Amino acid sequence: MLLTGVSGGMGSALVHYFAEREYQLVLQYHTDKEDLEKLLHSLNPTYEPQLYQADLRSEEAIVHLCSEAQKIYGTVDVLINNAGLSASSMIWKQPLDQWNDLLQVNLTAPFLMIKHLAPSMRYHHYGRIINISSVVAQLGAVGTSAYAASKSALFGLTKSAALELAPKGITVNTIALGYMQAGMIHELSEDRVKDIVSGIPMGSLGNPKSLAAMIEFLASEEAGYVTGQILNLNGGMYG
Ligand SMILES: NC(=O)c1ccc[n+]([C@@H]2O[C@H](COP(=O)([O-])OP(=O)(O)OC[C@H]3O[C@@H](n4cnc5c(N)ncnc54)[C@H](OP(=O)(O)O)[C@@H]3O)[C@@H](O)[C@H]2O)c1
């Protein structure tokens, strides 16, 4: 299982969940290796998942990451495109560089990860690809035009990639996450979080473990008949 964005809030919860269950992991981080190493060491000092630094805005870095992962395990059977970038800006103030960065990390990187892992998955007639999107792509939110645009584009990528890869037994799905207890939510003010929670039918932020469990199912052999889907995990906010 290759997991991107593992130093983030959701990423480290996913590492915790899958490392505890002794999945063979290839972990991509961007800037923060120390916390990740502490987490892994606390779970099991002898467990040695492969850690790779990569800036996912670079195709060269992605090619390197994919080929290293394939060298170790022969193929990558499960890809989780979890890394993501958010930024708050009104559209009339948003610098083009920021817009481009968000599209690069949230949309182009998942496309490139799929592009460079698909040949080996096709060869092995097996693969599970899971993209992480957001309820913001479905509802919109003030200050999130670039984020929402990049995350909703994942829906189209998922549906077309699923059709292209289905003949070789490869599934492609996207989980559209609502507001969770970890990660990006910490960029918002306390008042904004209270306001958001008041709009969630379940009345609370989501537990990252529920994302991990949903991924575990989609990554399993038994989920081979689920493809091209946008699965909502949002406490009833949308869907
Ligand atoms: N938490 C939520 O409530 C929520 C809700 C909906 C959707 N999501 C989605 O869930 C996923 C995980 O988000 P999170 O909440 O865990 O956010 P987070 O804590 O901000 O983590 C994001 C991760 O993406 C990595 N990343 C950012 N730019 C990168 C780049 N150029 N190259 C490589 N990695 C890069 C970050 O690494 P660095 O920090 O080292 O750059 C970090 O590990 C994202 O796709 C997000 O859109 C989260």
Q: Does a structural domain hold residue 160? A: yes
- Among 2, 10, 62, say which to mutate for ligand 1: greatest number of ligand atoms within 8 Å of CB: 10
- How far, in Å, is the centroid of ligand 1 from the Cα of 106? 9
Q: Among the options 23, 123, 126, 147, which is catalytic? A: 147
Give the per-residue pLDDT at 41: 87
For residue 83, the ligand 1 atom closest to its alpha carbon is 24
Give the per-residue pLDDT at 215: 98
Domain containing residue 73: CATH number? 3.40.50.720
Give the per-residue pLDDT at 101: 98
pTM for this model (two decimals): 0.98
Across the 239 residues of the chain, what is the mean pLDDT of every consecutive 10-residue run? 96 95 95 88 84 97 97 95 98 98 98 98 98 98 97 98 98 98 93 96 98 98 98 97
- The residue range of the domain holding 39 is 2-233
For residue 182, the ligand 1 atom closest to its alpha carbon is 1
Give the per-residue pLDDT at 45: 81
Q: Does a structural domain hold residue 92? A: yes
Ligand 1, residues at Cβ distance < 6 Å: 5, 7-11, 30-32, 55-57, 82-85, 105, 132, 134, 177, 179-180, 182-185
Does residue 75 contact residue 121 with C-beta atoms inside 8 Å? yes
Q: Does a structural domain hold residue 129? A: yes
Q: Does a structural domain hold residue 72? A: yes
Q: Does a structural domain hold residue 191? A: yes
Question: Domains in the chain: how many in total?
Answer: 1
Catalytic residue status for 238 = no
Give the per-residue pLDDT at 116: 98
Q: Give, using CA atoms, the residue closest to atom 15 of ligand 1.
A: 183
Q: Does a structural domain hold residue 192? A: yes
Give the per-residue pLDDT at 127: 98
Q: Does a structural domain hold residue 238? A: no
